[in-house]
Amino acid sequence: MGKRLFLLLGSFTAFYYLIRVAYDMPNLVHGNPLFLWWPRGAGGWLSRIRDIAFYFLFALIPYLALFRWYPSKKAPLSILVIIFSLPLLFLLRYWTEVEWMGRGGRLKTYFENTIFYVLIFSVYGAVFYFIRYSRYKELQQKDLEIQNRQSELSFLRSQINPHFLFNNLNNIYSLVYQGSAQALTAIAGLSELLRYMLYDTTEKVPLQKEMDYIRKYIELQKLRFDHPVKAEIHMEGTDTLIPPLLLIPFVENAFKHGDFSGTGQGLTITVFSGAQKTYFHCCNRKGMRQKDAGGGIGLENVRRRLCLLYPGKHSLLIEEDTLQFTVNLELTHE
Percent of the chain clearing pLDDT 90 (strictly above): 13
pLDDT of residue 326: 93
pLDDT of residue 331: 94
The pLDDT assigned to 257 comes to: 80
Q: How many CB atoms lie within 10 A of CB 176?
A: 14
Q: How many CB atoms lie within 10 A of CB 135?
A: 10
Is the torsion defined by CA of 146, 148, 152, 157 positive or negative? positive
How far, in Å, CA of 331 to CA of 273, rounded? 9
Q: Give 129: exposed, middle or buried? Use CB within 10 Å, 0-12, 13-18, 19+.
A: buried
Q: How far apart are CA 162 and CA 53, in angstroms?
A: 66
Task: Compare 268 and 140 and report the one with higher pLDDT.
Answer: 268
- Regarding predicted confidence, which is higher, 76 or 328? 328
CA distances from 135 to 60, 78, 138, 253, 321 (A): 19, 20, 5, 45, 51
Q: How confident is the model at residue 327 (pLDDT cuts 50, 70, 90)?
A: very high
Q: What value does the mean pLDDT of the chain take?
A: 81
Whether the pLDDT of residue 88 is over 70: the answer is yes
> 262: pLDDT confidence band, cut at 50, 70 and 90?
low
- Mean pLDDT confidence for 148-159: 64
The confidence band for 333, taking pLDDT boundaries of 50, 70 and 90, is: confident
Q: Report pLDDT for 193.
A: 77
State which of 22-26, 52-56, 151-155, 186-190 shows the largest mean pLDDT. 52-56
Q: Where are the domains of the chain?
A: 2-105, 147-332
Burial 142-161 (b: 16+ CB within 10 A, else e): eeeeeeeeeeebeebbebbe
Of 92-101, 144-153, 259-268, the range with the highest mean pLDDT is 259-268
Distances, alpha carbon 140 to alpha carbons 2, 68, 145, 146, 291, in Å = 20, 19, 9, 10, 44
**Could you tell me which CATH number the domain at 147-332 has?**
3.30.565.10
pLDDT number for residue 292: 46
pLDDT confidence bin for 334, thresholds 50/70/90: confident
pLDDT for 143 beyond 80: no
State the CB neighbour count (10 A cutoff) for residue 83: 10
pLDDT in tens, 15-25: 988 888 887 78
Task: Indicate the pairing of strand 267-273 with strand 231-237.
Answer: parallel
pLDDT tier for residue 295 given thresholds of 50, 70 and 90:
very low
List Cα–Cα distances, 297 to 47, 162, 251, 265, 267, in angstroms: 73, 11, 14, 26, 21
